[in-house]
């Protein structure tokens, strides 16, 4: 069913891109700015390329890369929707969602083509990721500790980088934070720190056996295989978004610290405080995003169906 789904996706995406281009509706953004509406034709081209990739396997992963690049920013929109109950640009968010869906469908098609299991193929035995990938996962999880400390300190009313919790709460209100966000902050729970914790759970689900088979303490589903799409969908989306976001942010902060570019001070009392908050705000995502990408590749490989080996004696 993946190939027909891709054809339907291609038709929907091409139509959306063409309508957006013809009506002057921007579908791509860069930072706070909207890109020219004519780039809607890029969606049409990507849709055509994906449709062509259904027949040409060599095109699949390159097309996945292009679609992932076009979907950049979707995760941030999802987080904004969950935390603030709003989306800054719905046409662009829809284009990102379409590109992400296309990338996931193509990955599914490509992985099926590569493994081509026989009818008597047995499912892969649940295993943990290799030692290096597990170490990367631990490093990715620990990278969030300074971020969580900073955000939780503010949520509890403390001072960090020259800013008090009350000042940060006032800043959140000025920036249009939702009632849910503000309520959680008032309880000492920072929503972004909670989301980071969920991200850590996802990371370990990708590298530990319980990410392939439901744990015994879960009713109804205990002992059953976890559907591959369940962890892979957020993992692919997160890896494609968070790694470049974090790496790009680190480059920006480094250039700012070196005095090459000017970094706006914002509400912080000093430029040093601004840089400290910026480094702790984007650096963890570079490490976590890279670890998530490694864990995702490992999970894809470990959960492929495998054809059981036939003993040599049985063939003689």
Inter-CA distances, 204 with 84, 295, 296, Å: 27, 8, 10
Dist. CA 93–CA 91, nearest whole Å = 5
For 109-235, list the strands marked E by DSSP: 159-160, 163-164
Q: How confident is the model at residue 126 (pLDDT cuts 50, 70, 90)?
A: low
CB-count exposure of residue 310 (10 Å: 0-12, 13-18, 19+): exposed
Q: Is the pTM of this model over 0.85?
A: no
How does pLDDT run across 255-289, given as a tens digit for each residue?
999 989 888 888 888 999 999 999 999 999 999 99
Candidate from 1-10, 109-118, 149-158 with smallest mean pLDDT = 109-118
Q: Give yes or no for residue 160 having a pLDDT over 80.
A: yes
Q: Residue 58 is encoded by which pair of tokens?
A: 């060599």
Cα 127–Cα 208–Cα 62 angle in degrees, nearest 5:
85
Average pLDDT of 163-191? 89
**Mean predicted confidence (pLDDT) in 42-51:** 94
CA angle 106, 234, 61 (to 5 degrees): 25
């Amino acid at each position: 069913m993946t190939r027909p789904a891709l054809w339907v996706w291609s038709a929907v995406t091409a139509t959306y891109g063409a309508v957006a281009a013809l009506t002057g509706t921007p579908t791509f953004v860069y930072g706070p700015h909207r890109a020219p509406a004519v780039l809607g034709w890029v969606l049409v081209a990507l849709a055509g390329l994906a449709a062509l990739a259904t027949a040409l396997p060599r095109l699949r992963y390159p097309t996945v890369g292009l679609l992932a690049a076009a979907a950049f920013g979707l995760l941030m929109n999802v987080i904004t929707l969950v935390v603030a109950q709003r989306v800054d640009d719905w046409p662009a968010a829809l284009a990102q969602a379409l590109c992400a869906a296309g990338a996931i469908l193509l990955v599914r098609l490509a992985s099926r083509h590569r493994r081509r299991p026989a009818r008597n193929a047995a499912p892969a035995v649940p295993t943990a990721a290799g030692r290096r990938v597990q170490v990367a996962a631990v490093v990715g999880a620990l990278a969030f500790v300074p971020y969580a400390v900073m955000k939780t300190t503010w949520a509890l009313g403390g001072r960090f980088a020259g800013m008090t919790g009350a000042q940060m709460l006032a800043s959140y209100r000025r920036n249009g934070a939702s009632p849910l966000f503000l309520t959680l902050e008032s309880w000492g729970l920072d929503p972004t720190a909670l989301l980071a914790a969920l991200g850590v759970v996802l990371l370990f689900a990708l590298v530990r056996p319980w990410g392939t088979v439901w744990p015994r303490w879960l009713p109804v589903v205990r002992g059953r295989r976890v559907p591959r799409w369940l962890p892979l969908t957020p993992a692919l989306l997160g890896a494609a978004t968070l790694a470049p976001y974090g790496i790009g942010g680190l480059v920006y902060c480094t250039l700012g610290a070196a005095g090459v570019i000017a970094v706006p001070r914002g509400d912080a009392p000093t430029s040093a405080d601004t840089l400290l908050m910026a480094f702790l705000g984007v650096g963890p995502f570079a490490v976590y995003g890279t670890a998530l990408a490694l864990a995702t590749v490992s999970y894809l490989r470990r959960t492929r169906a495998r054809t059981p080996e036939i003993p040599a004696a049985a063939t003689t």
